[in-house]
Structure 1
Amino acid sequence: MTRKLGSETLVIATHNAGKLKEISALLAPYGLNCISAGSLGLPEPAETGKTFVENALIKARAAAEGSSLPALADDSGLCVDALGGRPGVYTADWAERQWFEGAPGRDWYMAMGKVEGLLCEQGDDVDRSGHFACVLAIAWPDGEQAVYEGKALGTLTWPPRGTLGFGYDPVFVPQGATQTFAEIEPAQKHRISHRADAFAKLVAEQFGS
């Protein structure tokens, strides 16, 4: 049986205030006090894993060991079938500008263009299906851990549409919809997203009867 979280402090393995706010809101009904790894001064570990599970566990374990508290981490990305699952764990890396592409930082339009360019190389009949993946990992200081995986299936479209999302959202049309993730209202997106799928599994096991 998987170990259960109680009414305790949970470290969210992030230095991103927006992600802390989003995850804290999702966990608020369960009596958890969420704090970020960044607020504790914990360093961000190198994400050297080859899978979303490996990277999520790297971050969760580092936060749990550094804080002596249970920790939750997530790792997510876009997987395109015709590209062999790429960009996958390198989803954010594809948006990083090289030295010849301007000032350092992430350019998501450029990243979307890389995906589209590779698809176009395969011809007009290329399979444009793919999915967003999310892995949530909980780690306890004594080494115990739990992993929850979520997916949002869909297809890739071009050109990008919508301004409500981020990352690759403007080119991803979720299964059963006609609008991209960037055209759908955030509240609706959160109900059908890969992160929502993973959180539903976490809640069912951690807080279910």
Structure 2
Amino acid sequence: MRLPRLLLPRLPRGAWILASAAMLGFVTVGWLASAHATFPISQDQGTHHPWSMVWQIFARNAGAALVLFAGVATGGIATVASIPVLGMYIGTVIRATSNSIGMYAASEILATYFILEFIGLTLAAVCGLSPLIASVSWWRRHRGGERSWRRELLSLYLESAGRALRWMALAALALLLGAWLEVLGGIPR
């Protein structure tokens, strides 16, 4: 089933490739750089389901997503600067969790919600880079052509920003569902 283009219009392929590869790359760097990191948790530690924390978790993740999305307003600079920090943080958290309770237990805990949160954050990065990538692609195709290239380029940038904003709603939904699943899976006491 294809969603109508009006609801979720196309984003530049280059933004998908660049944001996804950068996020995965920096998660890997964070993982490799934190070989001895641990958390003060254990496998037999009890968990609880504080449903009031769903909104706190969502707010933290949404804040990170908005920093990634800020690339729309900064010509991609905020997104490019944020991806390494966020990616290495995520990689470090995964490594510290697996060092503390073992890879199997960590994957059992993290798999319930981490995939959705990672998708939501990566989608926010794609959205933050989309206007820049669309503008650069247009510029490469139309170099030195029209007299009113500035107006057309600005129009394209703003149109791409509007498309990215619609995708951010999907990113927010993924982050909210991820926060709900994180609490459902249990928070260590």
Larger radius of gyration: 2
TM range (shorter): under 0.3
Name the TM-score, length of structure 2 as normaliser.
Answer: 0.25
Higher relative contact order (CA 8 A, sep 6+): 2
Name the TM-score, length of structure 1 as normaliser.
Answer: 0.24
Q: Which has the higher strand share?
A: 1
Q: Which has the higher helix share?
A: 2
